[in-house]
A and B are shown apart, each in its own frame.
Chain A
Amino acid sequence: MGGSFTVLSHTADTGIEVAADTLDEVFEWAAIGMFSTMYDLASLAPTAEVEVAAANTGFAELLVDVLSDLIHLSEVTDVVPCAFHIIEVTSTRARLRVGTAPLQPETLHGPPIKAVTYHQLSVEPLPDGTWTAQVVFDV
Chain B
Amino acid sequence: MRVPGRVFASEALLIKAKEDRATQQVANVAHLPGIVEASIAMPDIHWGYGFPIGGVAATDVSAGGVVSPGGVGFDICCGVRLLASRYTAEDFQSRRRDIMAELDARIPRGLGKGAIASGSLVTDVLTQGAAAVLASGYGWEADLERCEERGTSPGADLNAISQKALDRGGGQLGSLGAGNHFLEVQLVERIEDGVAAQAFGLAEGMVVVMIHCGSRGLGHQTCTDQLRLMGTAMARHGISVPDRQLACVPVDSAEGAEYLGAMAAAANFAWANRHVLAHEAREAFAAAFGTSPERTGMRLVFDVAHNLAKLEQHDVAGRMRELCVHRKGATRAFGPGHPDLPDDLRQVGQPVLIPGSMGTASWVLAGTGGNPAFDSAAHGAGRLMSRKKAKQIESGQQVRRELEAEGISVRPGSVKLLSEEAPYAYKDVDEVVDVCHRANLATKVARLVPLGVVKG
Q: Which residues of A are interface residues toward B (Cβ below 8 A)?
A: 7, 9-14, 56, 61, 64-65, 68, 72, 75-76, 78, 103, 105, 108-112, 114-121, 136, 138-139
Contacts and interface: CB of A to CB of B under 8 A. Distances in A.
Contact of A12 (B53, B110, B168): B53
B110 to A, nearest CB: 6
Nearest to A112: B178
Given A61-B228, A105-B112, A118-B49, 10 more contacts: A9-B388, A13-B49, A14-B387, A103-B112, A108-B416, A118-B50, A118-B227, A119-B48, A136-B49, A138-B220
Contacts of A117: 49-50, 74, 245
Given A108-B111, A117-B245, A76 B47 contact: no
A79 B245 CA distance: 28
Given A9-B386, A115-B223, A121-B244, A103 B111 contact: yes
Interface string B251-283: 000000000000000000000000000000000
B224 A111 contact: no
Interface of B: 20, 22, 46-50, 53, 73-75, 110-113, 164, 167-168, 177-179, 217, 220-221, 223-224, 227-228, 231, 243-245, 247, 383-389, 414, 416-417, 420
A10 B386 contact: yes
A61 B385 CA distance: 29
Given A111-B179, A115-B224, A105 B243 contact: no
A65 B228 contact: yes
Contacts of B113: 78
A72 B22 CA distance: 29
A121 B244 CA distance: 8
Contacts of B384: 11
Contacts of A75: 168, 217
Contacts of A119: 48-50, 243-245
Contacts of B20: 11
Chain B, interface SS category: mixed
Nearest to A39: B111
Contacts of B46: 11-12
A9 B389 contact: yes
Best-buried of A11, A14, A75, A118 by chain B (most CB within 10 Å): A11
Contacts of A139: 179, 387
A118 B74 contact: no
Contacts of B217: 75, 114
Nearest to A7: B388
Contact of B414 (A13, A108, A116): A108
Contacts of A118: 49-50, 227, 231, 243-245, 247
Q: Nearest 7 CB-CB pairs, A to B?
A: A119-B49, A118-B244, A117-B49, A11-B47, A119-B245, A115-B74, A114-B220
Contacts of B110: 105, 108
Contact of A14 (B167, B228, B388): B388
10 contacts: A9-B388, A10-B47, A11-B384, A11-B386, A13-B49, A14-B386, A68-B224, A112-B111, A116-B224, A138-B75
Chain A, interface SS category: loop
B29 to A, nearest CB: 13
B414 A105 contact: yes
A48 to B, nearest CB: 17
A139 B164 CA distance: 19
Contact of B383 (A7, A11, A72, A108): A11
A87 to B, nearest CB: 21
A103 to B, nearest CB: 6
A4 to B, nearest CB: 17
A80 to B, nearest CB: 10
Contacts of B112: 78, 103, 105
B40 to A, nearest CB: 19
A105 B20 CA distance: 32
Contacts of B50: 117-119
B74 A138 contact: yes
Contacts of A10: 47, 386
B168 A111 contact: no
Contact of B111 (A7, A13, A105): A105
Contacts of B73: 138
B400 to A, nearest CB: 16
Nearest to A121: B244
A115 B414 CA distance: 20
A60 to B, nearest CB: 8
Nearest to B47: A11
B53 to A, nearest CB: 6
B76 to A, nearest CB: 11
B391 to A, nearest CB: 9
A136 to B, nearest CB: 5
A65 B163 CA distance: 15
A56 B224 CA distance: 14
Contacts of B227: 118
Contacts of A115: 74, 220-221, 223-224
Contacts of A13: 48-49
Nearest to A114: B220
